[in-house]
Amino acid sequence: MIKKLGIAGFIGFIADLLTFFQFFTWLFKLCGVNNDKAVTYNEWISLGGLFLIVISLVSIVIYAEKKRRNAGTHNIPCGLVPYVRYKWYNKNHTMLSSIHRELYHRMETVKKRILNLQMERYRNRQNQEPLAPLSINDIEEPMKNLMNAFHSTLYQVFSIDATISLYLISDTNGETILKRSLLQRSVYEAKRNVSRSTDNQYIIHRDNELGIGEFAARAKRYHERNGNGHYKKNSYFDYVLSTSHNAYLSNDLKKDEQNDDFFSSSNHYLQFYESMGVFAIVPPECEQEREAAIKGLLTFDCHKTNRFSEEECSLMMGLMAHFVYDILESLKFVSYE
């Protein structure tokens, strides 16, 4: 046996055996069993049951720990409590009811507002003149209500307190620019005396051949050359708008930055958020060229780390981005003749 296990293996076996006997000695004392007396059958049954309970609890904790690490974002694990919450709410009616009541109904309210505006403009037009599409500013109030529904749904279902931003793409002097159109602050951020700038504009450099780290390096070089310029840089924005990936989630931006996987031209972003989800505003199935179909980004900033689970957050936040795309498509003028 010693030859088969080796010296180290045999020593480990003896240590495990001693630990086993020490554990049962501890159980005897815990249960008030006198070691000097013979242990009765019922006492063995009680001790065995307690032992199985302890082993079962330890096994569950180890299993949950392993699963929540795999459920995180890009090797950054999801917190244990958020992980349990994700799996719990993903298996009962809470998520579905929130999607139905909070999201779909609010989206339909926005679309009805768009339809009423279009019909009103159509009736009031002069000389059969063509009508330009509506803008996001024309539906600002119902869109703010929808963004608030996004926040409340994430908070009620997953306990995520996120600041949600809607960025739309525009072409300025041949450059692709992201401009923030709407902002729904988190509860945490709303309570603070200091608030982030809301008029930042991000310049986008597309390249579908680069990896996540290469986007970060290129964004950093651009900032070093144009640090005092008008436009900001966020490497995740470039990545999502350039590649076939419609989303990217980070559970720890500081760690990603240390690993050269992320760069932001903001020197104080950690004052406001430490994790981020970035989702392209695209149709569910893109039949046209993807670059032409993308309307912007929907971002989710959280002031805590390890808050996201890849599966559940991608489904919920991705659905919100699709809702926004549907609304933006509805802004196009439709003839009622």
Task: Note the pLDDT tens digit of each residue in 167-187.
Answer: 999 887 788 899 999 999 999
Q: 162-172 and 175-184 as β-strands: parallel, antiparallel, unpaired?
A: antiparallel
Is residue 34 within 8 A of residue 15, CB to CB? The reply is no
Strand-pairing partners, residue 299, are 165, 278
Q: Report the distance separating Cα 250 and Cα 1, nearest Å.
A: 50
- Give me the pLDDT at residue 48, please: 67
Give the pLDDT confidence score for residue 336 in this predicted structure: 42
CATH hierarchy code of domain 87-330: 3.30.450.40
Mean pLDDT (whole number) for 290-308: 87
How far apart are the C-alpha atoms of 52 and 46, rounded to whole Å? 10
Beta bridge partners of 278: 248, 299
- Say whether pLDDT at 66 is over 80: no
Q: Which of 62-66, 174-178, 333-337 has the lowest mean pLDDT?
A: 333-337
Half-sphere exposure of 208 (CA within 13 A, CB side): 8
Predicted local distance difference test score (pLDDT) of residue 10: 54
Sheet holding 247-250, edge to edge: 201-204, 175-184, 162-172, 296-302, 275-280, 247-250
Tokens (6 digits) for 322: 């699709």
Cβ-based neighbours of 292, under 8 Å, separated by 6 or more: none
User: Is there a contact between 295 and 169 (Cβ–Cβ < 8 Å)?
Assistant: yes
pLDDT tens, residue by residue, 184-203: 999 998 888 777 777 889 99
- Residue 318, CA atoms < 13 Å, CB-side half-sphere: 16
- Say which range, 31-45, 64-78, 88-102, has the weakest mean pLDDT: 31-45
**Statement: residue 331 has pLDDT above 90:** no
Q: Greater confidence, 297 or 42?
A: 297
Task: Label residue 121 left, alpha or beta by phi (over 0 means left) and psi (-120 to 50 means alpha).
Answer: alpha
In the chain, where are the structural domains located?
Answer: 2-30+39-86, 87-330
Alpha helices (runs of H) in the chain, residue ranges in sequence order: 2-30, 41-70, 80-89, 93-98, 105-124, 140-158, 187-191, 212-226, 235-242, 253-258, 290-293, 310-330
Query: Do residues 270 and 279 lie in contact, with contact meaning Cβ atoms separated by under 8 Å?
Result: no
Report whether pLDDT(5) > 50. Answer: no
Of the listed ranges 22-26, 32-36, 52-56, 279-283, the least confidently predicted one is 32-36
pLDDT, tens digit, for every residue of 122-160? 777 766 666 777 888 888 888 999 999 999 989 888 889
Q: Which residues contact 297 (CB under 8 A, 6 or more apart)?
A: 165, 166, 167, 178, 237, 240, 241, 278, 279, 280, 281
pLDDT digits (tens, 9 = 90+) for 233-264: 999 999 999 877 889 999 999 999 999 999 99
> Reduced to 3 states, what is the DSSP secondary structure of residue 337?
coil
- Res 263: pLDDT: 95
